[in-house]
Amino acid sequence: MALKTRFTETFGVEHPIVQGGMQWVGRAELVAAVANAGGLGFITALTQPTPDDLRREIERCQKLTDKPFGVNLTILPAITPPPYAEYRQAIIDSGVKIVETAGYKPQEHVDHFKEHGIKVIHKCTAVRHALSAERMGVDAISIDGFECAGHPGEDDIPGLILIPAAADKVKIPMIASGGFGDARGLVAALALGADGVNMGTRFMCTAESPIHQKVKEQIVANDERQTNLIFRTMHNTARVAKNAVSDEVVAIERRGGAKFEDVKDLVAGARGKVVYEQGDPDYGIWSAGMVQGLIHDIPTCAELIHRMVREAEEIIEARLARMVGHKSLQPA
């Protein structure tokens, strides 16, 4: 039994499992490992300091796999934004055929990519945003439930509601994101109306993930309670690993009237990069989802993906089929 969905057919991948863009994590070695195992991986464009660095990272990935992979381009409002047009051109020039957009008003990016025959998945946190992206012409939606790492939006809608609510209205293929880490989640997502799952924290905790072993071991040690929601009072909520730094940010916000300037030194991205490079989980802010409570090992990407697909097939064919009295399981 193969898990063929609208997503696998549209994007030409073997399994309906996606490794989405992750700052400092979405690098060639991880992306290629996911691709070689039959999933769809994304290089994170803005992890690369310049568009030329992105070109080199894409080339490095192309040398490691001949399977489809994509690039994530996250659009965030900023006083001095990155040179998005140059990053887009680097993606186009490199022959990448799949892009994951995320963030703020992606229309110009979608239009430019579509002009060059590139398929676009847009990552969002609300049904209304998914429908807006569908109208913009994207090829698929990735929708994030409240359980996710990173930015879950401000509506606080968990996946059990958000995914079927989106499936009721979105006509294009849809990937479920936030809280997925094993076969049970994959089967549940398909049952809720999604065409596959996106995993971030789970792929951070794999052998090929380019972060320090101590951070991976911390993820395994953590349970589902080991996250903090920061920037709540600033209406830019982010779910991150619970540690001394994120506890301090939460405490500052709880005192009331906090501005970004009050916490900016604590939440600096450079400190989070050091966490991944040097392996001190308490040095800075780093993203992790509630799915930590379901992560108990550090497999290769191939081991993880093949295990998920095999166990998903077992759940569907054995446990669920038996519940509905599947005739092939009835006594003669």
Instruction: Judge whether 218 and 284 are in contact, CB under 8 Å.
Output: no
Residue 93 has a pLDDT of 98
**What residues contact 108, with CB distance under 8 A and at least 6 apart?**
none
Same domain, 163 and 20: yes
Read off the pLDDT of each residue in 16-33 and give the average, rounded to a whole number.
Answer: 97
Running DSSP on this structure, what letter comes out for residue 198?
A: E
Neighbouring residues of 49: CB distance < 8 A, sequence distance ≥ 6 = none
pLDDT digits (tens, 9 = 90+) for 155-191: 999 999 999 999 999 999 999 999 999 999 999 999 9
> For the segment 132-141, what is each residue's pLDDT rounded down to a tens digit?
999 999 999 9
> Do residues 225 and 179 both lie within one domain?
no
Q: What is the pLDDT of residues 182-200, one digit of tens each?
A: 999 999 999 999 999 999 9
Residue 329: how many CA atoms within 13 Å on its side-chain side?
A: 11
The answer as to whether 323 is a domain residue is no
Look at residue 332 and tell me whether its pLDDT is greater than 80: no
pLDDT at 327: 56
**29 and 154 share a domain?**
yes
CATH of the domain at 31: 3.20.20.70
- How far apart are alpha carbons 198 and 291 in whole angstroms? 12
Over the chain, what is the mean pLDDT? Answer: 95
Residues 92 and 149 in one domain: yes
Q: Judge if 139 and 244 occupy the same domain.
A: no
pTM: 0.95
Nearest to 201 by CA among 318, 314, 293: 293
Question: pLDDT above 70 covers what percent of the chain?
Answer: 98
**Is 309 inside any structural domain?**
no
Tens digits of residue pLDDT in 257-309 = 899 999 999 999 999 999 999 999 999 999 999 999 999 999 999 999 999 99
Q: Do both 200 and 234 map to the same domain?
A: no
Structural domain containing residue 279: 213-290
pLDDT at 331 over 70: no
The number of distinct structural domains making up the chain is 2
Going by pLDDT thresholds of 50, 70 and 90, the confidence category of residue 1 is low
